[in-house]
Amino acid sequence: MDQKYNLIGIGIGVFNLSLAALADKTAGVSSAFFDGKPYFDWHSEIMFSDSEMQTSFLKDLVMGADPTNPYSFMNYLVSNGLYYSFMNTNRSVVTRREFEMYCQWVSEKLKHRLNFASKIDEVSFKDGQFVVRSGDTIAKADNICIGTGLTPNVPDFAKDFIGPKVFHAKSQYLKTLDVTGKNVVVIGGGQTGIEIFRNCFKGKWGRALSTRMISSRANLEPLDNSPFVNEYFTPNYVEEFFGLDQAQKDPIVRHQKMASDGNTPEYLEALYNDIYQLRHVHRDEALIEILPSRCMDRIEEAGNGYKLTVSSTFSNKTEVLNADIVILSTGFRTRIPQIIEPIQNMIEFDENGRFQLQKNFAVKWKGPEQNKVYAMNFSRHGHGISEPQTSLMAWRSATILNDLLGKEHYKTSNMVSNFVNYRGL
């Protein structure tokens, strides 16, 4: 017999897990979530022991919408006997591994709603309902929420060389990597790039002959997480930003880049200190080099390795580097999942092929008003710099559930700032 729900979640990443955790304790909402992976994991390929969150542990799956929800990080600590020991660490942020462990604990508690190892084959719309097919299982829902995450961004210069020696950081190749005696080049100076760079020269994958990092940025620039900049990550700011013309939005998001994509300042200090110790205290002869203001021109095969041609935007010179292994820390991009192809002609896209989302995170579409296609992490251009971040995921989940219920079950309005006035006098 077909299963029928108010809401079906497509994908079980951290954002749809937040929605599932809030929905589980929301009267009047029946929900189910599907994902092809066997269990919850969160970018495990790029999970290092020194990888830290860039937001407070209080910005968890549910706290920002419902601090009494049992799926909070604080309840995770108490339930597992960790509360006092954790508080004695005096940390405001946790490692990414700790956050993943918390999410895995929540996913175990939500087994009745989460369907892992259930790859969705197709999402269609028929007779006023969404029809979700996963193998022999058919589930129907009044509404769906797409939370399929991002896909690795592989630049054109690298596409013809992808394999065990040239690969994106989010790749199984990283788990079997051996850099012993090799020349390694990491491309990308964001947080993942510097984490791979640091772990490489510190010997995580063997002792490299040389470790270089190429970044188009002018330097390894820090995350701007000062108090007034953090106002960008508040419901009040998102509300005001959403109302702007699109021509205004894109330049604003570009200007705010370091509020989202900068590197953790404490990590940069540790990285600098590590390089100092290796060079000037331990007199390590392995080459460690950071090359900012460089743009990759091309990769060519050269014997058993590669020749990299690089342009410097600082010196206006062209440089050539030799590499045995090239690791792409070139970020991610949004991708409309193929499984929604049967309803894609009903969905409205902008001139850049992006979802047009409404304030309630529902995609504009030509279907019935009462049936919604919600989407998460598809609206940086619409809702602002916070959209790909975990900072507001509880608030966003609550916004979606309020819209689904047709009432403000969770307090999401009037969350105004007392410090910054975006509306003008």
| Chain-centroid distance, C-alpha 176 | 23
Measured CA to CA, the distance from residue 56 to residue 394 in angstroms comes to 13
Q: Write the burial class of residue 90 (CB in 10 Å: 0-12 exposed, 13-18 middle, 19+ buried).
A: exposed
End-to-end CA distance of the chain, in Å?
Answer: 58
**Res 413: pLDDT:** 80
Measured CA to CA, the distance from residue 78 to residue 67 in angstroms comes to 14
**Res 265: pLDDT:** 95
Residues 232-247 pLDDT 10s = 999 999 999 999 999 9
**Res 2: pLDDT:** 72
**Res 414: pLDDT:** 65
Q: What is the pLDDT along the chain (425 residues), one digit of tens a residue?
A: 578 999 999 999 999 999 999 999 999 999 999 999 999 999 888 889 999 999 999 999 999 999 999 999 999 999 999 999 999 999 989 999 999 999 999 999 999 999 999 999 999 999 999 999 999 999 999 999 999 988 999 999 999 999 999 999 999 999 999 999 999 999 999 999 999 999 999 999 999 999 999 999 999 999 999 999 999 999 999 999 999 999 999 999 999 999 999 999 999 999 999 999 999 999 999 999 999 999 999 999 999 999 999 999 999 999 999 999 999 999 999 999 999 999 999 999 999 999 999 999 999 999 999 999 999 999 999 999 999 999 999 999 999 999 999 999 999 986 656 667 776 54
Here the tokens at position 148 are 């399929």
